Structure formats: C-alpha cells, structure tokens
A and B are shown apart, each in its own frame.
Chain A
Amino acid sequence: DTGVSQDPRHKITKRGQNVTFRCDPISEHNRLYWYRQTLGQGPEFLTYFQNEAQLEKSRLLSDRFSAERPKGSFSTLEIQRTEQGDSAMYLCASSSGTGVNSPLHFGNGTRLTVT
C-alpha cells in the first residue's frame, strides 16, 4: 500500500493555459474522488468515479473541467483556459467502496497557482 499519489505537487501556470493533473489511487480501490480546497476552507467535492464510470459531478465542475479514469485505475483532471479563481489545492482520494469501514484515503494534493 503505497498510498494515493498525485502529480505534480505544484503547478504554476498563466491564465488561459490548460493544465492536467494525475492521480494514482491505492491499487484495487474502485472509487476515486477529486476535491478542491482553497485557503482556509475545507475540501469541496468535485467528482467521483466508480471504476471507469464517472457517477457524480458537482456544480463546481464547470465545463472547463474534465476528469477521466479510462481504465478504472489512474485518473486525470484537466482544466482548460485556466482562470485565477482556479488557484487551489486539488486533492484526490480513493476508497474500496465496500464493507463497513471504507474510508477515503487522500493524496497530498496538487497545488495550482494561476498567474
């Protein structure tokens, strides 16, 4: 169990550029979540996958955001035409989704700064 891995840890981009983040969940975890966290706030849910199916998307996930999990393993989150308001920590989490005790395991996030 190597934990949830996110790459990159930090990303600085100019407004209008596209960025893509990657998340590698704990192996055999069939659920994968994306959250966003701004300074002083708790994490906000963006979307989640059960295997390769994207089952829920938050209203926070505008059409500039797209998430994929093509083979039910790793996931990517892409933000197109970034805006300064997109600056935040993007957190990925995974869970086994079965049994009484299936907590979310979070990665350490990707911090995005849009200049």
Chain B
Amino acid sequence: DAKTTQPPSMDCAEGRAANLPCNHSTISGNEYVYWYRQIHSQGPQYIIHGLKNNETNEMASLIITEDRKSSTLILPHATLRDTAVYYCIVSPLISTGANSKLTFGKGITLSVRP
C-alpha cells in the first residue's frame, strides 16, 4: 500500500542540481514527507523531512507543493557520492506513538554522471 510514487530512476551531471520528484496525492493532514537515501552496501541515511513549508539543511532542500500532493528533493550541486537510491516516505511524525515506523517503497535510483 505505497503512499508515494517515484520514477524508478533518473540521472544528472556532476555539479548540477538534482531534482527528485515524489507524488503523494493521498497524504493526510498529519503526515510528514520524509526523504532517506541508501548508498550501495550501506543502510538508509536520513536527509530531510517537512510538513508543508519548504525545508533546507546542509544536505538538501525539500519543496512541498501548496496542496501537499507532491514534493521535490533538491540536491543543489550533485556529486558522484550522491549516487544512491532515494526514498520518499509519508508518515505521521515518527516521534508520536500512533505510528512509529517508516514504510519504504522502492525509491528512485539517482545516478550522477561525471
């Protein structure tokens, strides 16, 4: 019962911005958008999360549409080390007791080319 839809793969050139889309048309009012990534042979790594406002941290920016039905993760200057599977997940805040786990889909494979 995937709540998000992501294209299976995309690529971008090193040094350029990578814009990773995610559709979550059935998102509920209390659900956040989380992004994780998984580099080959490693565990998933948290990137960013947001509710409705755009968010930015040292890794990426998260742009959420006004209707919250889709979002875009932006890696401003992609490097070869950003090649990974990126997971977009919607979930209530994981610090609450109601739903304390994340449900991963298949994600999108980002390939950064030299």
Contact = CB atoms under 8 A, between A and B. Distances in A.
Interface of A: 4, 31, 33, 35, 40-45, 48, 50, 55-56, 91, 93, 95-109
Contacts of A93: 43-44
Given A93-B43, A97-B94, 11 more contacts: A31-B100, A43-B104, A50-B100, A91-B43, A91-B44, A98-B95, A103-B34, A103-B46, A104-B36, A106-B45, A109-B42
B80 to A, nearest CB: 20
Interface string B77-114: 00000000101000001110000111111110000000
Given A103-B49, A105-B46, A106-B44, A97 B106 contact: no
A30 B34 CA distance: 21
Contact of A41 (B43, B49, B94, B106): B106
Given A44-B104, A55-B100, A100 B93 contact: yes
Interface of B: 34, 36, 41-46, 49, 85, 87, 93-95, 100-107
12 contacts: A33-B101, A42-B87, A43-B44, A45-B101, A45-B103, A48-B100, A91-B44, A100-B93, A101-B49, A103-B94, A104-B44, A108-B42
A45 B101 CA distance: 7
A40 B104 CA distance: 12
